[in-house]
Amino acid sequence: MERKLGERVVLDLTRELVGKSYKIFFDNYFSSVDLLVGLYKENIFACGTIGKNRQSLPDSRSILFISSFHDPYIIQKINCKHKEDDGISIKEIPCPKLEKDYNQYMGDVEKQEVVATHILQGGQMKLKDFRIAIAAGLIGAAFEQKRGRPSATKAENKYKRRILHEKRYSEAAHLPEFGTKRRCNFCSTKKDVKISRVICSECKIAL
């Protein structure tokens, strides 16, 4: 593998940002002192984690972060979850602004790395799963399932498109009107019944 492949990837992807004072974040695969110095000369600021075995570091201490625009002495407070005997409590603890910013912009990527590591260690991957993992890593997507009910906005848009499609064939005869309460023909499921007073004047079904 090319020794400075990570640096070259970052430089190739930031050519359109030169001179625009952008701030970028990346993990220790890409980080190096030479990379941050080169980006800084092009008026691109960067922050990332870095391994203690990187060359050009001042000493052998375990350095976790490297940044070209943070003051390491600026401390902010964040809420942190602690597991206790009686449950989980939230406590306010001091945190360097550098670390807070990194977690804000790289949190989803870090979660994806944990999931990808778990998948790789769990056994042989299917080709489809491998492609999904690679694609998610490239776009920085998080492997988190959607929680809760489907978006009301999406359901509404789907409903509107369906009504408009029907109007094309009935000369706009399908118009809403108020009637008696009944089970909605679009929103209801066997487990979640929705009641509506709005009905279609042509089909006589609840909307």
Q: Enumerate the domain spans of the chain.
A: 1-69, 167-207
Q: Helix-strand-coil percent breakdown of the chain, rounded to 5?
A: 40, 25, 40
Q: Which helix (H) or strand (E) holds 25?
A: strand 23-26
Alpha helices in 22-151 (DSSP H): 33-41, 97-121, 127-139
- pLDDT 10s digits, 40-90: 999 999 998 886 655 555 544 555 788 999 998 999 888 877 777 788 888
What pLDDT, on a 0 to 100 scale, did the predictor assign at position 100?
Answer: 85
CB contact at 8 A, 180 and 203: no
What pLDDT, on a 0 to 100 scale, did the predictor assign at position 133?
Answer: 65
Assess whether pLDDT exceeds 60 at residue 139: no
pTM of the shown model: 0.46
Is 164 in a helix, a strand, or coil?
A: helix
- pLDDT 10s digits, 197-206: 777 777 777 7
What pLDDT, on a 0 to 100 scale, did the predictor assign at position 111?
Answer: 52
CB contact at 8 A, 50 and 74: no
Both tokens of 91, joined, read 């406590």
Cα 17 to Cα 39: distance, rounded to the nearest angstrom: 10
Of the listed ranges 3-7, 48-52, 147-151, 174-178, the least confidently predicted one is 147-151
- pLDDT 10s digits, 10-37: 999 999 999 999 999 988 888 888 999 9
Confidence of residue 183 (pLDDT cuts 50, 70, 90): confident
4: nearest Cα among 59, 55, 47: 55
